[in-house]
Structure 1
């Protein structure tokens, strides 16, 4: 019997940038290889997904009348119902780890599942650490046993999960093949994840149609500051960063996002340059230091481009990511509470004046740049599908 050479592939994700963005390159590569890719996500993602060549399908029953926060809460059930309606017509389901019902749903549809992880590979120990360090954000469910039990029971019923404990569902009901967008050297509790079931492919680097950034104003070593969507509304925090580096012998590039106007920050020192948006990968290629909130995508991109980090996390997995950066000597970790400009400046100077940070991250960079990325994921999934009856 002839093996299929072209597959109908269903991808599903939730409308969070850190979880969807890394997977877009995979959709594009699968399309380029001649496969039919359908990608389910919220309507806001339609244009980005269609640019990959994949067919976009919006969630079923996704109400427009709710706030953005309410809609994102509804996205789990909306995504689930959409896959349930469509999934039986596809050869496999590819899902990102935040869509935790993915494996149970694929089993219900009797199709193979493949999981993408935009954070670390996960087990109960790591989820517990996230719960203990991540503050009152999504991961706090793993900090409080009664809350975890209550929510898990509800989720088990809603999504027909195997386990009545969400940490066990995520950790134990995993597909045979899992792809993590980091390198094994950066993975927490790495020995717990075997090579047969977990592949570490490095960051998802996708740079289509970039407009070159103008670096001519910057004569000194570049410190790049970007604090992610949870922190970039904090005027006081940006003011501390500006105060830390004013008139220092560095060129400071600050990406503000769209929630703060430049005028809110007052008159700028000559060496500080404010932008609503910058092409992050171009900046990381040139920067001497990256001051970041510790989002996993940003940290992996810094490793890929060999840029040491000063990490000031907010919540969820970020404090544990920050600690891993510090433990591996890829940079330093500062806690946000009671932080002052002098501490920021001293930590930055320590990293910039100590070549061991740069040397360490250059070693990690070599591994990340040969890890395979989305190309390796696509090749592995298609090879595995060809073994299926």
Structure 2
């Protein structure tokens, strides 16, 4: 098959961390690629097969060993490191052979991957003759900034164990010591970053290897949700798609917004049962899930956990954010909100109804806020989104080297 321009249809394979915050940012790209006549294959945890199919892509599924990685209410670096090591093992022992078998007969032109599948995805690209492209659903890394280095020093014992595991895997696949560095590097020569450069930590230090395309989500269907239209302010409250059991958080938020001034919309997480919160005040509506872009254009404030997908949706709509981060990566993003004047961070110990109410009032009273949000809204939209990401993916896939037969 060839495209209307005469260019050949390409095949793209995606190997991603088993979390909607990592898979979600790629779905708009996949929709754009399939609309252009390309084929897209995800090697993905079975829990995400339906959303992959809805994007027009094929899902090759497995069951991830993720466990509670980044799901715990208060993750500590040592636990994250151990869980990350288990995931690293999983990508080599499970994801890599599954992907190799599924793709051998129909090799992709490009292999797109994120931080947890760095090594096996690069090896897979080499063996299938595909172009490797690294995806960044959150802050990217380069020679100046590294989230991994901030969280785990090179002397952390799990880092040494992980390095040994990687070296053994590479040696098993015929990659010698002189080549190993580029297979374990934290970034690639081609990188798609799903945020604007203006929101990236140390954004000015990133060179042409990094394309900051911003979020790629599609606008929801009209009529999915409508505001009450009673003149009260609107607050959207969420801890993301996989927040787990955090009922105490939602109850505090219900108390923080007085009924005479506010209407509150809560999304509790995919599959959550709203009745678990008990009787809610009449001015609060709770949903298992709603696409946030259906609500954000009407919202006066968004209270969230500082997940990058949530933040990009808010910034795209110009909605003020109060962030309650619960991990180092999320804390970095909350600090970026404050630095750019588009939101506020609130520490866990400050999460009371009164504390949240004060943070919201201070944020909305800031006279510089509207201008800052307008500038960031423009930066997000100017980044290019799914069309620019697909343009680059097509351009890079066309660089595919000669393919290697897979036995």
TM-score by length of 1: 0.84
| 1:271 and 2:286 matched | no
Query: How far off is 1:387 after superposition?
Result: 4.7
Q: Residues 381 and 128 from structure 1, CA distance in 2 versus in 1: closer, same or farther, beyond 3 angstroms?
A: closer
Q: Relative to structure 2, which stretch is displaced further, 311-320 or 92-101?
A: 92-101
| 1:152 and 2:163 matched | yes
- SS across alignment from 2:303: strand
Query: How far off is 1:19 after superposition?
Result: 0.6
Query: Which residue number corresponds to residue 36 of structure 2?
Result: 33
Query: How far off is 1:360 after superposition?
Result: 0.4
Task: Find 1:5's aligned residue among 8, 21, 41.
Answer: 8
Query: How far off is 1:193 after superposition?
Result: 1.2
TM-score by length of 2: 0.81
Q: Residues 338 and 364 from structure 1, CA distance in 2 versus in 1: closer, same or farther, beyond 3 angstroms?
A: closer
| 1:222 and 2:234 matched | yes
Q: Residues 105 and 218 from structure 1, CA distance in 2 versus in 1: closer, same or farther, beyond 3 angstroms?
A: farther
Deviation digits for residues 165-199 of structure 1, max 9, x if unmatched?
Answer: xxx878836332211000000010113310x2101
Query: Which residue number corresponds to residue 371 of structure 2?
Result: 359
| 1:180 and 2:193 matched | yes
Q: Residues 264 and 15 from structure 1, CA distance in 2 versus in 1: closer, same or farther, beyond 3 angstroms?
A: closer
| 1:328 and 2:340 matched | yes
Q: Residues 264 and 48 from structure 1, CA distance in 2 versus in 1: closer, same or farther, beyond 3 angstroms?
A: closer
Unaligned stretches of 5+ residues in structure 2: 70-82, 402-407
Query: How far off is 1:108 after superposition?
Result: 4.1
- SS across alignment from 2:60: strand
* Larger relative contact order (CA 8 Å, sep ≥ 6): 2
Task: Find 2:139's aligned residue among 117, 120, 127.
Answer: 120
What is the rounded CA distance, in whole Å, between the counterparts of 2:155 and 2:345 in structure 1?
A: 26
Query: How far off is 1:276 after superposition?
Result: 2.4
Q: Residues 356 and 47 from structure 1, CA distance in 2 versus in 1: closer, same or farther, beyond 3 angstroms?
A: same
Maintained 8 Å contact 1:246/1:269? no
Task: Find 1:249's aligned residue among 255, 261, 280.
Answer: 261
1:328-347 counterparts in 2 under 5 A?
A: 328-337=340-349, 339-347=351-359
Query: Which residue number corresponds to residue 109 of structure 2?
Result: 91
Deviation digits for residues 225-260 of structure 1, max 9, x if unmatched?
Answer: 111256452222222212222335122212223576
Query: Which residue number corresponds to residue 58 of structure 1?
Result: 61
Query: How far off is 1:273 after superposition?
Result: 2.5
Maintained 8 Å contact 1:13/1:79? no
What is the rounded CA distance, in whole Å, between the counterparts of 1:76 and 1:364 in structure 2?
A: 36
Task: Find 1:21's aligned residue among 20, 24, 34.
Answer: 24
Q: Residues 328 and 107 from structure 1, CA distance in 2 versus in 1: closer, same or farther, beyond 3 angstroms?
A: same
What is the rounded CA distance, in whole Å, between the counterparts of 2:170 and 2:293 in structure 1?
A: 38
What is the rounded CA distance, in whole Å, between the counterparts of 2:398 and 2:158 in structure 1?
A: 43
Maintained 8 Å contact 1:213/1:279? no
Query: Which residue number corresponds to residue 122 of structure 2?
Result: 103
Q: Residues 171 and 344 from structure 1, CA distance in 2 versus in 1: closer, same or farther, beyond 3 angstroms?
A: farther
Q: Relative to structure 2, which stretch is displaced further, 97-106 or 22-31?
A: 97-106
Maintained 8 Å contact 1:128/1:143? no
What is the rounded CA distance, in whole Å, between the counterparts of 1:143 and 1:105 in structure 2?
A: 26
